[in-house]
Amino acid sequence: MKLSSFLHPHFIKIKHGAASSEEVIQDLVKEICREFSPEFEKKVIDLIMERERQGPTVEKGVSIPHARIEGFRDLIIAISIPENPVTVDGEEVKIFFLILTSKTASRIYLNTLAAIARLAKNGELLKRIIAAAKPEDVINIIEKEGIQVKEELTVKDIMEKKFPVVAPGETLKEVIDLLHREDSLFALVVENGELTGEVRLLEIVEKGLPDYAKSLVNLKFLKTFEPLEGLLEKEERIRVREVMSPLSVTLTPSSSIVEAVVRMVKEKRFYIPVVEDKKPVGVVTLKEFVTRILRV
């Protein structure tokens, strides 16, 4: 089903005068709830604002406030294109897509969120939508783009496309510097464009610890930094190939999210690399699963 089939001109505001995210939400909900009681309208606004306080969904200048409503029997998308960009969670937002649906319509709800997230990554398309003269133009632009609300979500819909990469010949110092810059606990090892393994901060630290420290039962007497000094001494000599591990599991972009989560649980991993033609194209993490699936 096309994303455009969920859109109606009455629920699209062009050059919207709202100055804040809350104003945008209130105005859009008011349009949607014209046939409902004031109490229901307030309930919807409260639910959306509660969800926003947990952490707004913002993708490249697009905000997606949303809520699942008990007893609501439809899926409605309302759009706001503010006259002036609105700051949400420190980001400048130029388009709002507000989504309301039933608590029981989980699959279509998640797939609609994924479709809008894909739209948000198309810079040229966003420019055309922002420049639209009237609501009907917005619908026509999205219709011509042919964005589909897919039947099922896959790993490709939630994977992170930016991830740390190192080569087998790099030193531990280079890896530690990279992990520090990227605020990451792991890096993928790539040689000649192909994924050959992984290196994790835990194994790096383990490599630097002396054997006596690893064999101790009671560690409370270790008060000095001495056991870790070996890591500092060796970090410029030890190479990635000496500490890297082969990958026990990988996924493809078309793998299901259920498969990804089950594999993470079985393998006791918080991330799994996504591979296509032996090349790493992304990483699916438990964090993204929680953010995009469990807490949408």
Instruction: Evaluate whether 78 touches 66 at the Cβ level (below 8 Å).
Output: no
For residue 228, count CB atoms less than 10 angstroms from its CB and return exposed for 0-12, middle for 13-18, buried for 19 or more.
Answer: middle
- Predicted pLDDT at 248: 86
Where are the extended beta strands (E) located within the chain? 12-16, 58-59, 62-63, 66-69, 76-82, 86-88, 91-93, 95-102, 165-166, 186-191, 194-200, 271-276, 279-285
pLDDT tens digits for 72-109? 778 899 999 999 999 998 889 999 999 998 876 567 77
Q: Give the amino acid at 13.
A: K
Which run of H or E residues covers position 21? helix 21-32
Question: What is this structure's pTM?
Answer: 0.60
Sign of the CA dihedral running 108, 111, 116, 117:
positive
Domains of the chain: 3-151 (3.40.930.10), 165-294 (3.10.580.10)
Q: For the stretch 180-209, what's the b/e string if a residue is b when 16 or more beta carbons lie within 10 angstroms of its beta carbon?
A: eeeeeebbbbbeeeebbbbbbeeebeebbe
| Positions in the chain short of pLDDT 70 | 104-106, 150-151, 153, 207-233, 291-296
- Predicted pLDDT at 108: 76
- Predicted pLDDT at 219: 40
